[in-house]
Chain A
Amino acid sequence: MSIRLLHGVHVPHRKNTAECVPTRMPPPAVVTIPMSMNIGKPATPVVKPGDEVKVGQRIGEAGGFVSSPVYSGVSGKVKKIDKMLLFHGAVCDAVVIETDGAQTPYDALQAPEVTDFDSFINAVRDSGVVGLGGAGFPTSVKLKVDPEKVDFICVNGAECEPYITADTRTMLDDSEMLVDGVELLHNYYPKAKVIIGIENNKPACVKKLKELLAGKSYAEVNALPALYPQGGEKVLIHNTTGRIVPEGKLPIDVGCIVINTSTLVSMTRYIRTGMPLVEKYVTVDGSAIKNPQNVIVPIGTAIKDVVAFTGGYRCEPKKIVLGGPMMGVSVPDDSEVVVKNTGAILCFDEKDAVLPEPSACIRCGRCIDACPLNLMPTEIEHAFNAGDAERLGKLKVNLCMECGCCAFACPAHRRLVECNKLSKTMLNKYNAQQKAEAERKAAVAAEKAAAAEKEKEAIAR
């Protein structure tokens, strides 16, 4: 089957840390573990100040169906339960733990009993695993679908963002666990073909996984061209299976599940050993970092503690990004903490931090050529500036996955992703208004009809 690959942009790879085996950092003096590290409801703390906690102990209970439990990655004493302002503006509870440095494992840790599909889903839920590629969607919710409906499970090892090599190291250093996870998936989704998609700039990963999966007909390793955003959910599905996720639908609607390699490894680790998600492989890199490297970080560790462990800053950082430079979030300072879906800490010096000022659009069409989903960012910007929400709907701005290809490619440095985000808000507001208007009109019409009916009856009488 030949699939016409989607468009994208050639971003600089900068995988400086690809050869760097992650080192486990000692626990910092204090960790602050937010209860909201996933899409959906935050977890509820189940410990109180003064409690002793150990590594792997549950400190937060899932707060609903679309939620995920939280575990401690350190041993020590709960100092307080604090309110915490997350960088995207929401406020949630956070458990602050003073560590004792002993890293004593929790006594009750044991591998869960997984016998059937339901117990498998429960185990995934208990593992505390959410989409570690960045989305943070609870994995158990994603996996809780009719196995009959799943034709493909795409294991996302594309790691298309520059700098990040955390998944690369996962694929190389935890490859047995990964293959074990692929087998688990095969057991519970016997109809599905498991495709591991890896960008071909990681030949070592492709080779190793191909060797380990040789002879397993249900799984295949797909070496994809190194063209950003190969690891975008819709892009990966299209480029590995040829299927297209329609507007407003989920991958499962076209028979696909996408799961990140680190996510798969973390949930498999819990099912095999009972150790839930308490630490992360994090790539620390960027022009302001003295010694770029991969670090195994307990969740809840502050950025500054991680950077200090790696050897500190090379110069004063002017921008800190959690995640990759294409889709990552820039945070206000280095006291932010590493959460479940943090894959990288990138610190940039002044030169890299300040982006060029936007100038006039020269209508070159590079944004259109770059968009993997064939959107027209320049036309979207035009419609947005004109306040034309109807046209935004026609231009399908809601399909935009904010991968950043358009803004990356734009020679006029226009803030196209920003504009797309604002456009979505404008369109959704407009759609809501339209709906309310239509409902109001329908109600008025119904009232009139009823009145007319009454009148008729009155006349007839």
Chain B
Amino acid sequence: MSTMTTGVSPHIRSERSTQRIMLDVIIALCPALIASVILYGFRALLLTCVSVAACVLLEFVWEKAMKKPVTIGDLSAIVTGMLLAFNVPVGMPIWEMLIGDIAAIILVKMLFGGLGCNFMNPALVGRIVLMFSFTTDMTTYAAPKVANAITSGVDAVSTATPLTMMDQIGWSNFPQLLLGAHGGVLGEVCAAAIIVGGVYLILRKVIKPIIPLCYLGSLLLFSWLFGGAQPVLSLFAGGVMLGAFFMATDYVTSPFTNKGKVIFGVGCGLITAAIRVFGNYAEGVTFAILLMNILVPYINDLTMTKPLGGDASK
């Protein structure tokens, strides 16, 4: 009887764990992964696997070297690896991909204290590093292999992304956008696959729909207000869907409260629309989310909950 366990209540815990949440995100990313393999062939899978392996290994080696407990079991490194791979075109050289992984895991995640302590989304910073280091490779978009099979020809075999020519496309190109039969980076081309994954996350209650809806809604509104071409269609082009469902909803770098999430989502939409319409850079998702990431501590401070029965004057 001397081996009884004692401890502070509660003595039961919910089934949900960090690991299970990360596993759900990985599952939700799989439709987009499958779509990218169909669209771009097995190199898409290879790039993703290399990126995942690199992220996990980097985290492991770093923690061993720093004599810290190894946390790769929480699967968060796999999520980062997948998301970063989803942000590069299929032709990206492997060694360049690895630089992005180092930036994401070491620079953004581990140096700030590991999971939960980074103030920016690691995969997005990885993307920025790659974007400025290897601009040509990051913007050389191969035409999808199956483009012709899905949409009998037309513009499909183009190496430009739809975003750079938004004024030339119309509703007849919608199926192409939805299915991803156009140039782009691995994970973001097939809007349908990303939406499927996003809906899975919402149904599993891993994420709340607030940020994606506010993001998409405000992007639509501000694109229209700013006079951008094809505000509705542009929601399905570029990184918006991947950003709205998978990047902006990252727990660590988004606000706690529902009110905060609304501000965050609307802010992301506003900045994305502004960059897309007024900037000379076709895509604004990455910068929009990163800028809002930086504002999160302030948003959290402004949207603190009001404790029930708390006296505000004290």
- A417 to chain B: which residues have CB within 8 Å? 8-10
B13 adjacent to A413 (CB under 8 Å): yes
Q: CB < 8 Å: which of B17, B21, B257, B311 contacts A246?
A: B311
A6 adjacent to B11 (CB under 8 Å): no
Min CB gap A289→B, angstroms: 15
Task: Tell me, in angstroms, the Cα distance from A233 to B109 when the chains sit together.
Answer: 43
Q: CB < 8 Å: which of B11, B13, B257, B311 contacts A247?
A: B311
Q: B256 an interface residue at 8 Å Cβ cutoff?
A: yes
B12 adjacent to A162 (CB under 8 Å): yes
Q: A412 an interface residue at 8 Å Cβ cutoff?
A: yes
Q: Mark B117-150, 1 if CB is under 8 A from A, else 0.
A: 1000000000000000000000000000000000
Task: Tell me, in angstroms, the Cα distance from A327 to B12 when the chains sit together.
Answer: 10
Q: Mark B298-314, 1 if CB is under 8 A from A, else 0.
A: 00100011111111001
Task: Tell me, in angstroms, the Cα distance from A413 to B13 when the chains sit together.
Answer: 7
Interface residues of A in 325-341 (CB under 8 A from B): 325-334
Q: A333 — nearest CB in chain B belongs to which residue? A: B1
Min CB gap A397→B, angstroms: 9
Task: Tell me, in angstroms, the Cα distance from A353 to B17 when the chains sit together.
Answer: 17
Min CB gap B146→A, angstroms: 37
B14 adjacent to A360 (CB under 8 Å): no
- B21 to chain A: which residues have CB within 8 Å? 362, 364, 411
- B5 to chain A: which residues have CB within 8 Å? 318-319, 330, 353-354
Q: A130 an interface residue at 8 Å Cβ cutoff?
A: no
Min CB gap B314→A, angstroms: 7
The number of chain A residues with a CB under 8 A from chain B is: 68
Min CB gap A377→B, angstroms: 10
- B10 to chain A: which residues have CB within 8 Å? 325-327, 404, 407-408, 417
Q: B151 an interface residue at 8 Å Cβ cutoff?
A: no
Q: CB < 8 Å: which of B3, B71, B256 contacts A360?
A: B71
- A321 to chain B: which residues have CB within 8 Å? 9, 11
A373 adjacent to B7 (CB under 8 Å): no
A12 adjacent to B2 (CB under 8 Å): no
- B12 to chain A: which residues have CB within 8 Å? 11-12, 162, 325-326, 352, 408
A247 adjacent to B74 (CB under 8 Å): no
Q: Rank and list the top 3 A-B pairs by shortest CB-CB distance, nearest first.
A: A404-B10, A365-B256, A396-B307
> Can you identify 16 A-B contacts, CB atoms within 8 angstroms?
A319-B4, A319-B11, A325-B10, A326-B9, A326-B10, A329-B9, A330-B4, A331-B6, A355-B11, A360-B115, A362-B21, A362-B76, A363-B252, A408-B10, A411-B16, A413-B13
Having A325-B11, A395-B304, A404-B9, one finds 16 other A-B pairs with CB under 8 Å, namely A162-B12, A244-B309, A327-B10, A329-B9, A331-B4, A333-B4, A346-B11, A360-B116, A360-B117, A362-B115, A364-B21, A368-B257, A396-B307, A408-B13, A415-B8, A418-B8
